[in-house]
Amino acid sequence: MKKYAVCLLMMLPTAALAHAGDHGHFDLAALIAHLFEPDHLFFAALTVIASILAYRAGRRAEARAHLRKDADHDPR
């Protein structure tokens, strides 16, 4: 339950770290062009890198837990 509360809290709208400004006046073409500015690309890349590192850390933790579980049930 605690995880769900944290996830919901993280999905709340927050101020953009790239820059402040109203993005509501853009048409679709201008919005797409705006998203390819360097500050937006930087934070998108940062998000992808953080996601990959978190995924890998989770997989390593899962593997360690399985090894620990297997060692506890070793009949020797």
Is residue 14 over pLDDT 60? Answer: no
Cα distance between residue 29 and residue 45, in whole Å: 22
**pLDDT tens digits for range 46-72:** 889 999 999 999 999 999 998 888 777
Output the six-digit token pair for 71. 């060692």
- Domains of the chain, residue spans: 27-76
Please give the pLDDT value at position 62: 93
